[in-house]
Structure 1
């Protein structure tokens, strides 16, 4: 683990929880305590960090059993197999108070983080095999769901469907910043659609593509862009200008060896995107059409499988989740300190390894949208059915 002047003692404390070598941890903790003992920022940060549950929801499985009983749902398969209910996917509301968890691939349970209790359950017999969920940026109570049967659009407890021909088996969805457009990709008809949600009408943006789409995502600052990562013999990323819908605005098609995912800068006017592919990272300046930075993630094997990449709302921390086959710690999360202005910079802070059990691995992660000004809250869902919350504190 390398040190950086932008990281406080609490951030290292959160990372060191996962290290088994106590001698190494104690030495680093002692050094950091001396380094930051006079930092007034800790007076604010410590109460905030202590107020965050270590694992949330701590009674997720017990609560899910109660919901199943209340709705007379058949839980015999889960009970007989001895497997726990799995939080395979989750998303924060724009306000950051609520988190929606996909449980058993077809039910969405929304929890209140502040009250630490269940708030709402969204379930329909038509909604199954959920692949993607996204809250509408302008409405915390509207949730779009990409699933095997199409696109479900929840408005509180009311369910609406966005339908277009054979646009089912929806793998990816993404809202525009103003919430007026919804992009979706279907693995059945191989189309990328752009939905005007006010009219419930769709425009075919990419028709019957024969190459696999990795991710569809709107940019959030500066000019709006839609990112599409796809492959023929190799993966490459394509960026569309959503003002004129000109394809391949990123003219230098950087080719990569495996599936890629994108994270956008949400904080300032810099149109910067970070793209991860296996164990390699690329930083792109979209407006200037240039590559700012590229790096291999150190000490990660070439056969590592990319799971997720997220950038915190202040653009100061980037987390990259990798699945490492046949290793003691199957999941590795590389944590970077980043800055976009005046020049782009990225430094590896350390690793989050999670539980030692080889049967428990991370599935996805996300930063809370409305974290405090002196830190960010990283949430990680684990295969045993829990969400781990890790506070990261920034120095001024």
Structure 2
């Protein structure tokens, strides 16, 4: 099948593969070289994200629907979004929450698990980013997002709004207790005129803080260290 999405399990033994064309996705046991097809009607999968502890798998489709799978018996719960297709998602470090961005919204969504694995009881809460909403204006939306492995730094790019803020990446400080919240720290601008972020991701193993890598449209790849006071 033509593969459009891949995600390794945290243990490195299982590989989930999805396709934008075939109606199933498969989980490969790479040590045995064997695959198990799961659930028909899953055509259009555009990305997958395994939880940090391997208890859950998120699969997102181009039709604005997504599924949460518990990996003990491989049952799932379907979700649909009024904010468009899920274009980005990241798990919290403990695997108890997912943060997602939607292609027609300037507000993030957070899914909170109410029980322990393999429970699929989940509560959806919005995470408004007032600065992004003000910058984007009507018709603007979040384009990409990345959440670092400590759950303390969030990077967001966006479309629409004032040209002064075009092409920037907003950096937020995030707190997960008592409820998820985000506070703007500042913006990252790329090198060269008209630079726009094409892709970015956090290095998850930096002990002193977070390390953001960005690929810019001007041909530069830059890294931005963010040290936490607690680690200094």
> How far did 1:329 drift?
5.3
Structure 2, unaligned runs of 5 or more: 116-121
Secondary structure, in 3 states, of the residue corresponding to 2:229? coil
Query: 2:46 matched to which residue of 1?
Result: 214
Normalised by the size of structure 2, how large is the TM-score? 0.81
Structure 1 pair 344/361, CA: closer, same or farther in 2 (3 Å)? closer
- Which of 209, 226, 232 in structure 1 is aligned with 2:57? 226
The structure with the largest helix share of the pair is 1
Is the contact made by 1:329 and 1:354 (CA closer than 8 Å) also made in structure 2?
Answer: no
Alignment of 1:116-155 (within 5 A): none
Query: 2:198 matched to which residue of 1?
Result: 363
- Which of 217, 220, 223 in structure 2 is aligned with 1:383? 217
Per-residue CA shift, 1:126-185, capped at 9, x if unaligned?
xxxxxxxxxxxxxxxxxxxxxxxxxxxxxxxxxxxxxxxxx12x2211101111111111
Structure 1, unaligned runs of 5 or more: 1-166
Alignment of 1:154-169 (within 5 A): 167-168=1-2
Is the contact made by 1:329 and 1:355 (CA closer than 8 Å) also made in structure 2?
Answer: no
Is the contact made by 1:307 and 1:363 (CA closer than 8 Å) also made in structure 2?
Answer: no
Tell me how far apart the structure 2 counterparts of residues 302 and 178 of structure 1 sit (CA, whole Å).
43
> How far did 1:203 drift?
1.3
Structure ID, larger Rg: 1
Tell me how far apart the structure 2 counterparts of residues 183 and 301 of structure 1 sit (CA, whole Å).
37
Tell me how far apart the structure 2 counterparts of residues 263 and 305 of structure 1 sit (CA, whole Å).
18
Structure 1 pair 258/303, CA: closer, same or farther in 2 (3 Å)? farther
Tell me how far apart the structure 1 counterparts of residues 164 and 192 of structure 2 sit (CA, whole Å).
7
Secondary structure, in 3 states, of the residue corresponding to 1:256? coil
The structure with the largest strand share of the pair is 2
Is the contact made by 2:202 and 2:211 (CA closer than 8 Å) also made in structure 1?
Answer: yes
Tell me how far apart the structure 1 counterparts of residues 49 and 40 of structure 2 sit (CA, whole Å).
17
Per-residue CA shift, 1:196-247, capped at 9, x if unaligned?
111111111243535x3232110114x6211122254xx1332111112111
Query: 1:263 matched to which residue of 2?
Result: 90
Structure 1 pair 256/236, CA: closer, same or farther in 2 (3 Å)? farther
Query: 1:41 matched to which residue of 2?
Result: none
Tell me how far apart the structure 2 counterparts of residues 305 and 294 of structure 1 sit (CA, whole Å).
14
Tell me how far apart the structure 1 counterparts of residues 20 and 67 of structure 2 sit (CA, whole Å).
18
- Which of 15, 24, 40 in structure 2 is aligned with 1:191? 24
Runs of 4+ in 1 over 6 A off after TM superposition: none
**2:181 pairs with 1:345:** yes
Q: Name which structure has the greater RCO, CA cutoff 8 Å, separation 6+.
A: 1
Per-residue CA shift, 1:365-394, capped at 9, x if unaligned?
111122133x21111011233211111122
